[in-house]
Structure 1
């Protein structure tokens, strides 16, 4: 009887050592949703960039600059070289005011509606276009930025006044820069 139990245990051990077989999904997606989403976003970006380029072409009073980060801007007030040569870097504390409007100059957030903001560069939450734009500024400068929706508030908006996929115009005045070295 002991031999029978021993043989049974050996056979069950060999059978249980079988490697598991892969389970395949019942249904497979073709990836068409992702392809449709990519096509939609490319079309949306092309429309927004076209509208921004029309605004730039029709405004001969300003000298627009295309940034490498996917937005355009011009100086309202350029800082004198004697005021500051420093641009904000990671960890610096900046103080600024800004207001936001549509590309058609319809105000979304009036000047003064948002309080003066103190921001630790790249260490706090701020929409990506403004985060990149502030790094181009010097203390005392005022710049107007034209952001396509993906550099502004994107698909989600700001959950208040700015809706889904809205390109915006933002005018920012940078009041001060406190370098990270002086904060420590």
Structure 2
């Protein structure tokens, strides 16, 4: 990224009528945000819905990939629709992860290690593969409909009080302290 160009496309994924694009956006003076933008297909065209999960960093450069992490990834942020179960995940994969496999389709992991996944009603599992095509981990997002009755009731009540609000739950860590 240069001074004039403050964003960089990192990756994309699509499943059915849901798609997500991961971008890195550098601040004017400091910091970096990795964002997943959600799109949905309406009348044959992709329409932007909103910014999905994000990860924020105090440094203006992409963080290096880790050699180890939790089930093949070192950073993650997810966002799920409580009504439908549709989910978007933003993942920073560990260095040994060289490919992802979803629904029988294998794709290389970019050198920066950031990937975005979409899951319709948590129906997809993405496998992480090493250079020898061995599975080293999985990218799975918990179905938000399996959350507690109390949480779902609170989301329903908020929706009644604020009809224009969305019902996406966000599980995004704050890494601004780095």
TM-score normalised over the length of structure 1: 0.25
User: When you count helix as a share of all residues, which structure comes out higher?
Assistant: 1
User: When you count strand as a share of all residues, which structure comes out higher?
Assistant: 2
Higher relative contact order (CA 8 A, sep 6+): 1
**Structure with max Cα Rg:** 1
